[in-house]
Amino acid sequence: MNYSFSNLALSLINVFESQAALDNDEKVTVNALVSRVASFYEKFRTAMDYGSEETIPRRAIERMLKRMFFLEKRSKAISEDLVRELIWAGYFPNATVPESLIEKVGSAIDLHQKLKTEVGKQKLLSSDDLNEFVLQMLSCEIFNILLPNKEKEAVANFMFRVLKDQVKIEDETDQTKDIQVFLAIRKSFAKDDLPFLKYKLFTQIFGRLNDITIEETIKNFVNGYKEIRFQLTYPKKERILSYVKRVTPPFLILYDLLWEEKGHIKILAKDQEALRQKVFDICERKYSTIRGKIQRAIVRSFIFILFTKAIIAFAVEGAFESIFYGRIQWFSIVLNTIIPPAIMGVVGVTIRTPSEENSKLIFTDIQKLMFVENPVIANAITITLKTKTRASLKDYIFSAFWIFTILLAFGIILIFLDRLSFNILSKAIFIFFIAIISFLSYRIYQTAHSFTVVKNQNIFTPILEFFFVPIIRVGRELTEAFSQINFILLVIDFIIEAPFKGIIGFFEQWFLFVAAKREELE
């Protein structure tokens, strides 16, 4: 192999080696004690939220904005309070955020508020859908203002250039195919959630919202909104995502390699053995962090389940049993509360980290990505839409068999619960949370294998998939639906968080006042 960088790899390396402009702007500072208290609360609050670890800051911005818009209308005041709260919560180190960014955040708030107002006048979208969409776009825009990562964006674009020609969709335009590959990369590599995917499509269609693009965005908003809906509900998106996930590990390690070797990668590449050792070291370090990510995911999922479970188990299940049975059946409530988290704990214990062979495969792929002009690290796939053909007999048989597996999986659970004398409500609650915990456990499993190139299967894998995949699919639907209507979080955000943050702000101002009085003594 010729170990000269490809043109595409050189373009990527240049992004990492470009020097950032010096920033001499004044920085936003907060009281250290106040920040410690607020960051403790934030960890507790985010643990109750559904979503990946990588999107926590964006979700926090959206949550804070929702509360602030309810209490405040001035964009300047909102932007100042938002930046301070994010520093309090520990999303930025103290005295690192330039004060000039507050003005940029305020400008973004004004533009998105204008967009919502002007599009709302067209009466082409429901106010709820419009409010939700614009709030999500604003949270993503503020995230990119405060936490830009041009290096990660560059690797995602590099990944797109490598993979876009490896995917074919019969009877589909190249534009739609490219968009689907782009979205799959954003989900698999960048770990974008749904609002981020909407934002990426929004900026692809209209550009980032500013004084120049705002009028054209307002004029064509509805058409762009429909295109975003179409792309996000594309029928074959999961198949493309599955393909992209299999080839993502080398790009994740490549990102870390280029980040750690800024300014030195060209020298390191001249010694392939040194490059190999560096890649292996990064792999081993990433493997060792998997256990920590699993533990954090288990804790967050456990708290998410515990608080929702406790309320339902004691407020609903206990009340139901007291009314209809004259007593609380503690046995079913205890089992209902203990078994789901226990399953998640078992999943965490049984997860294994990748082997050295996995690192060898990653290094081979990274060599191709860096030194081959048109690298191919996986076989191409061709997807058929089947939009113009009638469903075959096989399709009907598989659909019927899929329904059968769902009924069988939940039927076995119901028989087991019946033997334990669970009443009808206890059974429903148990199944509800078993489905959710199965999905969350599957997500933890996916997190643990985010650096695995080849996933080994044993003879029990088909049996486990036959039984658990239907439960996991149901759990995903329930989790996503439940996260939208979780009244416990609404209570925390508007009844607890608002006065709590007000008290935090008061004490910070008091500490500043005391500090000023102390300075007068000097």
Q: Provide the domain limits for residue 345.
A: 253-484
* Residue 434 vs residue 66, higher pLDDT: 66
pLDDT tens-digit map of 190-246: 999 999 999 999 999 999 999 999 999 999 999 999 999 999 999 989 999 999 999
The pair of three-digit structure tokens given for residue 38, joined into one six-digit string: 């607020």
Whether the per-residue pLDDT at 453 is higher than 70: the answer is yes
Cβ atoms of 439 and 476 within 8 Å: the answer is: yes
**Residue 7 resides in a domain:** no
pLDDT tens-digit map of 105-130: 999 999 999 999 999 999 888 999 99
Tell whether 215 and 114 lie within a shared domain.
yes
pLDDT tens-digit map of 340-375: 777 777 777 777 778 889 999 999 999 999 999 999
Cβ atoms of 351 and 343 within 8 Å: the answer is: no
Whether the per-residue pLDDT at 473 is higher than 90: the answer is no
Q: What secondary structure does DSSP assign to 108-138, as a single string? A: HHHHHHHHHHHHHHTT-S-HHHHHHHHHHHH
Tell whether 361 and 471 lie within a shared domain.
yes
- The identity of residue 291, as a single letter, is R
Whether the per-residue pLDDT at 318 is higher than 70: the answer is no
Whether the per-residue pLDDT at 501 is higher than 80: the answer is no
**Residue 490 resides in a domain:** no
pLDDT tens-digit map of 402-413: 888 888 888 888
**Residue 16 resides in a domain:** no
Separation between Cα atoms, residue 202 and residue 195, nearest integer Å: 10
Tell whether 298 and 159 lie within a shared domain.
no
Tell whether 235 and 283 lie within a shared domain.
no
Please state, rounded to an integer, the average pLDDT across all residues of the chain: 84
- The identity of residue 10, as a single letter, is L
* Residue 116 vs residue 503, higher pLDDT: 116
Residue 70 is predicted with a pLDDT of 83
Residue 490's pLDDT band (cuts 50, 70, 90): low
Cβ atoms of 417 and 427 within 8 Å: the answer is: yes
Tell whether 214 and 285 lie within a shared domain.
no
Helix orientation angle between 194-206 and 127-146, rounded to the nearest 10 degrees: 90
Strand partners, 98: 27
How many domains does the chain divide into?
2
pLDDT tens-digit map of 68-84: 998 888 899 999 999 99
Residue 160's pLDDT band (cuts 50, 70, 90): very high
Tell whether 350 and 401 lie within a shared domain.
yes
Whether the per-residue pLDDT at 458 is higher than 80: the answer is no
The pair of three-digit structure tokens given for residue 164, joined into one six-digit string: 């876009």
Q: In 3-state terms, what secondary structure has residue 98?
A: strand
Residue 388 is predicted with a pLDDT of 47
Separation between Cα atoms, residue 8 and residue 158, nearest integer Å: 7
Tell whether 356 and 460 lie within a shared domain.
yes
**Residue 8 resides in a domain:** no
pLDDT tens-digit map of 235-285: 989 999 999 999 999 999 999 999 999 889 999 999 999 999 999 999 999
Residue 156 is predicted with a pLDDT of 96
**Residue 152 resides in a domain:** yes
* Residue 139 vs residue 302, higher pLDDT: 139
Q: Running DSSP on this structure, what letter comes out for residue 72?
A: -
Centre a 10 Å sphere on the Cβ of residue 506 and count the other Cβ atoms it contains: 11
Tell whether 320 and 448 lie within a shared domain.
yes
Q: How many residues does the chain have?
A: 522
Separation between Cα atoms, residue 519 and residue 522, nearest integer Å: 5
Whether the per-residue pLDDT at 422 is higher than 70: the answer is yes
**Residue 12 resides in a domain:** no
What are the residues whose beta carbons fall under 8 Å from the beta carbon of 292, sequence distance 6 or more?
A: none
Give the chain's radius of gyration (CA, Å): 26
Whether the per-residue pLDDT at 512 is higher than 70: the answer is no
**Residue 20 resides in a domain:** no
Tell whether 154 and 257 lie within a shared domain.
no
Helices (H) and strands (E) in the chain — how many of each? 22, 2
Separation between Cα atoms, residue 515 and residue 389, nearest integer Å: 75
Separation between Cα atoms, residue 182 and residue 232, nearest integer Å: 11
Helix (H) or strand (E) holding 381: strand 381-384
Whether the per-residue pLDDT at 485 is higher than 60: the answer is no
Tell whether 148 and 264 lie within a shared domain.
no
What are the residues whose beta carbons fall under 8 Å from the beta carbon of 372, sequence distance 6 or more?
A: 1, 6
Cβ atoms of 301 and 344 within 8 Å: the answer is: yes
**Residue 492 resides in a domain:** no
Separation between Cα atoms, residue 141 and residue 470, nearest integer Å: 37
56-70, 74-88, 160-174, 458-472: least confident range = 458-472
* Residue 397 vs residue 117, higher pLDDT: 117
Q: Which of 106, 107, 131 is nearest to 212 (CA)?
A: 107
Tell whether 317 and 239 lie within a shared domain.
no
* Residue 327 vs residue 79, higher pLDDT: 79
155-164, 289-298, 409-418: least confident range = 289-298
Whether the per-residue pLDDT at 450 is higher than 90: the answer is no
Q: How does 433-445 read in b/e, with b if 16+ C-beta sit within 10 Å?
A: bbbbbbbbbbbbb
Strand partners, 27: 98
* pLDDT average, residue stretch 293-309: 68
Residue 384 is predicted with a pLDDT of 86
Tell whether 329 and 240 lie within a shared domain.
no
